[in-house]
Amino acid sequence: MLAIQNKMGLGEVVCVGLSTAALEISVDEHKAHEKKTRMLLQAKDITKQLGLRLILRKVNLTLENGESVAIFGPNGAGKSTFMNILSTLMKPTSGLLFINGEDVLKNPLPFRLKIGLVAHEPNAYLELTPYENLKFFGKLYGVEHLDEKIDSLLDYVGLTPFAHEPISIFSSGMVKRFMITKALIHEPDILLLDEPFTGLDATAKQLILKLILDERTKGTGIIFITHDFQLGYEAASRFTFLFRGRLEEVGLKEGTTITGLQQQYEGFDTQATQAKGRLKG
């Protein structure tokens, strides 16, 4: 089961329209940069080919502690494949992956303790309760003071009243919040989220946004995939685009407006569409 594999194998900021939480994190950006940073993750020339199809083409990405990197891109661009490689659930055809300066691909298992993954689809035992799931996975990770940790995490995401209810009856937002507790149970350095805002109502989206911003302030390095420009802009400190298997660094949030970000994306989208048309012709 995927859940077990994941554990065992495993300047100026334009503020219009931003939530209070996002404003607070934006104001603190300079303070965060003053703190000592360290490289958590480096992906170098990551390429993935499936049959004759080239999914990823020499993708490069770095992540420091306290950073939150947004990956925007159309469906089929290779975003989830890249996330699976970063989480060590999939091997690249070629390229290198380092966590804390160490080569991950030679022996991925020990590095899965450094990673928390919130997949697009729930990778947990939905017939069990949040408490039962966290107890099971916490033991697999060797988490100390597990009961206290579970109580703290469930309170953190507002699921304490539902700790002993089966996850199968939860709303999409509740499931997403639970999946974040599962990803954080072992206190990873790196948090990977595949479309964390998709399918949620406005209230649930704001809760997930707050959780991401909270983790950034704690020093966690975060990479997330999203189609939501507003929330992606609020949650990220750095922006990237992934088109046709190629990752483009757009830049830091500082000095970037959401309108400018969207315009850049549209430009890349147009170029990618034109390139695809030339190939077909």
In a domain, 3, yes or no: no
In a domain, 157, yes or no: no
Residue 116 has pLDDT above 70, yes or no: yes
Split into its structural domains, the chain has a count of 1
Nearest to 33 by CA among 68, 62, 67, 63: 67
Residue 118 has pLDDT above 70, yes or no: yes
pLDDT for 271:
76
pLDDT for 8:
37
**Each residue of 162-186: pLDDT tens digit?**
999 999 999 999 999 999 999 999 9
Q: SS3 string of 60-111? A: EEEEECCCEEEEECCCCCCHHHHHHHHCCCCCCCEEEEEECCEECCCCCHHH
Prediction pTM value: 0.83
Model confidence at 275, in pLDDT bands (50, 70, 90)? low
Q: Which residue range(s) make up the domain with 51?
A: 19-122+188-280
For the ranges 26-30, 48-52, 253-257, the lowest mean pLDDT is seen at 26-30
Residue 278 has pLDDT above 80, yes or no: no
In a domain, 182, yes or no: no
Residue 126 has pLDDT above 60, yes or no: yes
* Stretch 137-145: mean pLDDT: 96
Model confidence at 273, in pLDDT bands (50, 70, 90)? low
**Each residue of 75-100: pLDDT tens digit?**
999 999 999 999 999 999 999 999 99
pLDDT for 219:
96
Model confidence at 37, in pLDDT bands (50, 70, 90)? confident
* Stretch 125-138: mean pLDDT: 98
The rounded mean pLDDT for the chain is 87
CATH number at residue 66: 3.40.50.300
In a domain, 147, yes or no: no
Answer whether 9's CB lies under 8 Å from 89's CB: yes
**Each residue of 213-228: pLDDT tens digit?**
999 999 999 999 999 9
pLDDT for 268:
84
In a domain, 259, yes or no: yes
Answer whether 3's CB lies under 8 Å from 124's CB: yes
Answer whether 192's CB lies under 8 Å from 120's CB: no
Place of tokens 């704690």: 218
In a domain, 174, yes or no: no
Answer whether 133's CB lies under 8 Å from 167's CB: yes
Q: Which two tokens stand for residue 151?
A: 């109580």
Handedness of CA 232, 184, 35, 64 (dihedral sign): negative
In a domain, 211, yes or no: yes
In a domain, 142, yes or no: no
